[in-house]
Amino acid sequence: MAAKWLKDTVFYEIYPQSFKDTNGDGIGDFNGIIEKLDYIKGLGCNALWINPCYDSPFKDAGYDVRDYKKVAPRYGTNEDLFRLFEEAHKRGIRVLLDLVPGHTSEEHAWFRESQKAERNEYSDRYIWTDFCFQGAPGFPYVGGESERSGCYVLNFFKCQPALNYGFYRVTEPWQKSFRSPAAMATREAIKDIMRFWLSHGCDGFRVDMAASLVKNDDDRKTGTSTVWRDIRRMLDLEFPDAAIVAEWSNPPLALRAGYDMDFCLNEPGGCYSTLMRDYANYGGFINSNRNAEDHSYFKKDAGGDINRFLDEYLSWYEDTRDLGYISMLTCNHDTLRPSYNLAPRELKLAYAFLFTLPGVPFLYYGDEIGMKYLDVPTKEGGYFRTGSRTPMQWDDSANHGFSAAQASDLYLPVDLSPDAPTVASQEADPDSLLHTVRALLALRHSEEDLQADAVLQVICSEKDRPLVYRRGSLLCVVNPSGRSLETALPADVCGKLKGEVIFSIGEVTVENGRICAGAQGFAVMR
């Protein structure tokens, strides 16, 4: 069962480097986040996910943790982060930190110890083969860098050695079972880190590469799921209010493994991309095919088919309804921003859909104003992802109000194009995306039937008809195409409908049992 507070929660993801700098060093900080809590609250978000903010050499933007219990000085001190928890809580905002359990930085003290020739407490904290010329078949590994005669397995980039949670199927003498003392010690070390932050006021974690822990695991990730269920039991006993969201993109597995939420972000070709960025050719990852023909559902007249999304989403939804939540997101720090291929009106419709689905939605900082994906050189291992990580655009002052530093000293350049959206300019424009996001989130908070738990039932998803779905007693209608679309409502649905539109974009009407949705229209009605 998921934490109760998630029922009416909308998350705001903050990439701390780029949100708000208060000390003029060109990089965002905790005090900057504190300064903007009222803005976040006013937007309608009542929870945060903050990307890794721990001490790190930043070869992967902080996903290479050097010390799990100490924040990176560039963001402030541990005390500043504790104060952020407090200030957020005062405003009814919960805070999830980013937990990176699968690997550390190669500069982590545990790894330094495990590289030593002489055996010590950390020798088995990472996955090592037992000879300097013995590679790890089937895994990326590094040899020749340590005093120890062995090669170590990587979990992601070269700077990220894999922590040892053991192997589900042990096929080599150097592999430990996932129940071995060494694997159990790693598990306990991660619990200890979770306890540390939870006992200082954090409300839970977004969990990086949640499926990556136990190696040689079977398709159902039996070993990894066992680890998470064990961790869940610890949470249930010691921090029953804590919530965890998986980066797994397999809700049936993740939620059964004890997660409260799992992201729906299985690019390319999966459920998320069919909505937001549905390229004809899924050959590569998002950056290699980003200029391909786009058939995403919200792209006007691109011929997208919502059933490609619904088939996967609904099967997950039915399977996990009593277990926890699917989390839809506008995008995240690893993807192109949705404004890359969707125009402002298309974004309004896409967000209207995302925020009226069940589960717990996530909004990435800056997506509320349609910040652009910028073509900038790679930073901190970001590569193509860097373009979605540029500074938040607050207003028209220097550096868009992000920082008082010289432009050349900023973490990343700000968007200097004349039409760069800012919070200030969109505040002043009643028709802006910002106002739509605010109105949508206010609606979601005011109608229990739009929140995490109310039942979703799809009424019409036929091609050339509007998409019609029920959330509890409310009816939602979407037409992303450039022409009016109509459909007849089934008698039982029609009978219960008062026809009162409580939110709309464009024109949507019901008459004599027929719904007519104008071009690029959306409505919620009772």
Q: What's the closest the beta carbon of residue 182 comes to ligand NOJ, in angstroms?
A: 22
Q: 156 vs 411, which CB is nearer to ligand NOJ?
A: 156
Q: 209 vs 517, which CB is nearer to ligand NOJ?
A: 209
The neighbour count for residue 416, using CB atoms within 10 Å, is 10
**CA distances (Å), 453 to each of 177, 250, 323, 475, in order?**
39, 19, 11, 15
Q: Is 406 exposed, middle or buried (0-12, 13-18, 19+ CB in 10 A)?
A: exposed
Q: What's the closest the beta carbon of residue 209 comes to ligand NOJ, in angstroms?
A: 5
Beta strands in 123-219 (DSSP E): 141-142, 152-153, 204-207
Q: Find out whether 493 and 474 touch, Cβ atoms under 8 Å.
A: no
Nearest-angstrom CA–CA distance, 59 and 285: 21
Q: What's the closest the beta carbon of residue 390 comes to ligand NOJ, in angstroms?
A: 15
- DSSP character for 102? S
Q: Find out whether 489 and 510 touch, Cβ atoms under 8 Å.
A: yes
Q: What's the closest the beta carbon of residue 72 comes to ligand NOJ, in angstroms?
A: 16
* Token pair listed for 146: 């340590």
**Footprint on this chain of ligand NOJ (rule: CB under 6 A):** 60, 63, 100, 156, 208-209, 247, 333-334
The strand pair at 204-207 and 94-99 is best described as parallel
Q: What's the closest the beta carbon of residue 511 comes to ligand NOJ, in angstroms?
A: 47
Residue position matching structure tokens 């995008």? 331
> In three state form, how does the secondary structure of 235-258 look?
HHHHCCCCEEEECCCCHHHHHHCC
Q: What's the closest the beta carbon of residue 389 comes to ligand NOJ, in angstroms?
A: 10
Q: 133 vs 383, which CB is nearer to ligand NOJ?
A: 383
Q: 385 vs 470, which CB is nearer to ligand NOJ?
A: 385
Q: What are phi and psi of 481, to 5 degrees?
A: -80, 170
Q: What's the closest the beta carbon of residue 297 comes to ligand NOJ, in angstroms?
A: 24
Q: What's the closest the beta carbon of residue 245 comes to ligand NOJ, in angstroms?
A: 12
Residue whose Cβ sits closest to ligand NOJ: 63
Bond prior to 418 in cis (omega within 30° of 0): no
Q: What is the dihedral of CA 306, 308, 310, 315, to 10 degrees?
A: 180
Q: 96 vs 349, which CB is nearer to ligand NOJ?
A: 96
Q: What's the closest the beta carbon of residue 60 comes to ligand NOJ, in angstroms?
A: 5
Nearest-angstrom CA–CA distance, 119 and 109: 15
Nearest-angstrom CA–CA distance, 63 and 56: 8
Q: What's the closest the beta carbon of residue 267 comes to ligand NOJ, in angstroms?
A: 12
Q: 333 vs 372, which CB is nearer to ligand NOJ?
A: 333
Find the DSSP H helices in 200-246: 222-238
Helix%, strand%, coil% for the chain, nearest 5:
30, 20, 50
Q: 45 vs 207, which CB is nearer to ligand NOJ?
A: 207
Nearest-angstrom CA–CA distance, 63 and 77: 18
Q: What's the closest the beta carbon of residue 321 comes to ligand NOJ, in angstroms?
A: 27
| 246-253, long-range: CB < 8 A, 24+ apart | 246/207, 246/210, 246/211, 247/206, 247/207, 247/208, 247/209, 247/210, 248/210, 248/211, 250/211, 251/316, 251/319, 251/320, 251/324, 251/326, 252/316, 252/319, 252/320, 253/211, 253/220, 253/221, 253/225
Count of positions (residues) in the chain? 526
Q: What's the closest the beta carbon of residue 281 comes to ligand NOJ, in angstroms?
A: 24
For residues 471-505, b (16+ Cβ closer than 10 Å) or e, as one string?
Answer: bbebbbbbbbbeebbebebeeebbeebeeebebbb
Q: 194 vs 306, which CB is nearer to ligand NOJ?
A: 194
Q: 55 vs 247, which CB is nearer to ligand NOJ?
A: 247
